[in-house]
Amino acid sequence: MELFVPGRLCLFGEHSDWASLYQPQNKKIPSGSALVSLLDLGIYARAEKSTHIEINSVINENDMEKKLTLLCAADVSELQVYIDEHHFFSYAASICQYMIRHYHVEGIFLDNYKTTLPIKKGLASSASFSVLLVRAFNRVYHLGLTFDDEREIAFLCENISHSRCGRMDHACAYPKSIMHLAFNHGRTVYSNIEMAKDIYLVIVDLNGVKNTRVILDNLNSHYPFPRNRKERGFHRYLGKYNIRTIEKAASFLKKGKVKQLGHLMNKVQKQFDRHVQPFSEEDLSSPLLHSLLNDKSIYPFIYGGKGVGSHGDGCAQLIARDGEKQLLLVSYLISKGYRCYPVMIKKEIHL
């Protein structure tokens, strides 16, 4: 059985998903909100039933292709070892364990033979693989799980295996192109965004290093209650300020105001640097990201840009002025040694 799960780009609203999970402890924390787009970059695989667990994964890291394999018995105790060791396949082991326990299936053979999605770049590569594995179990065993079910299982299993991520990454479970996500008391509501114009984006691999787990651990340590003025500013950024940002961004998308959308990205990046960066300074100082955003040579090609995912020196996203400027931007950035992924978010919604 052939499978494909795309990567996910968060346009606005990073970190508001996990912050909203603290609402039961602190009622003053508002709902999270985000705008995300699915990508044509993703993970390809073949799957079939098996009496054991065999997962082959091909990953692309800094232009190097690696093939990794998990081979073990379809046994919950043996899988727990991989979870406890924070193994590369800890998320996969958690999913296999969950599916065996809750759906009484046997094993799985999953051959991830092609990956066009870069890892550790803020494009939800881990979540995409997790959704892919849940979907493989769902399809080969005819479990009848919905997209919501697949998303929720992938999220729960990642958290069981020590991830601090929220529910945003797993939007890759859905077949929608661009979505608004609302996070409220553990519930996630997804809705389509109807756009007036196509948007030309360039995702830029900064050729750097980021550690999403460390970033999330550091930021989570300042929740659920702010203890000083700086922490209150951090909470406001992920709360009321973020809600206003999403409202503006959604309005710009619906009205085709691409220029204003780019300028909003610039503003959000500055606010992120002011209110979030200090709480994970080593990983969020992002010298490579800021070097790119401050390069005046790209200004004639773009309306604005910002970091991707948890931020850090993984990837940047830039809104090009049009299709021609997108090509010129890519050509310039390649000449500077960057890897680039041109993306067009189409106004038509494909379900």
Residue type, 47: A
Q: Pseudo-torsion of CA 160, 164, 166, 170, nearest 10°? A: -60
Residue 159 C-alpha from the chain's centroid? 15
pLDDT at 348 over 70: no
One domain for residues 134 and 203: no
| pLDDT band of 190, cuts 50, 70, 90 | confident
Q: What average pLDDT does the chain have?
A: 93
Range with the poorest average pLDDT among 45-49, 152-156, 207-211: 207-211
In a domain, 16, yes or no: no
In a domain, 21, yes or no: no
Q: Which domain does 240 fall in, by range?
A: 199-345
The two tokens of residue 70 are 């998990």
Provide the CATH number for the domain around residue 71.
Answer: 3.30.230.10
Domains contained in the chain, number: 2
Half-sphere exposure of 33 (CA within 13 A, CB side): 16
In a domain, 15, yes or no: no
**Which pLDDT value is given to residue 9?**
94
One domain for residues 212 and 333: yes
Sign of the C-alpha dihedral computed for residues 126, 70, 149 and 239 taken in this order = negative
One domain for residues 330 and 206: yes
Residue type, 323: G
Provide the CATH number for the domain around residue 223.
Answer: 3.30.70.890
pTM score:
0.85
Q: Which of 175, 208, 226 is the last residue of a domain?
A: 175
pLDDT in tens, 78-121: 999 999 987 889 999 999 999 999 999 999 999 999 998 888 78
Give burial (CB, 10 Å; 0-12/13-18/19+) of 71: exposed
In a domain, 125, yes or no: yes
In a domain, 250, yes or no: yes
In a domain, 233, yes or no: yes
One domain for residues 151 and 215: no
In a domain, 24, yes or no: no
One domain for residues 168 and 203: no
One domain for residues 217 and 309: yes
In a domain, 35, yes or no: no
Report the percentage of the chain scoring pLDDT > 70.
97
Beta bridge partners of 65: 60
pLDDT at 350 over 50: no
Which of 164 and 226 is assigned the larger pLDDT?
Answer: 226
One domain for residues 224 and 258: yes
One domain for residues 171 and 206: no
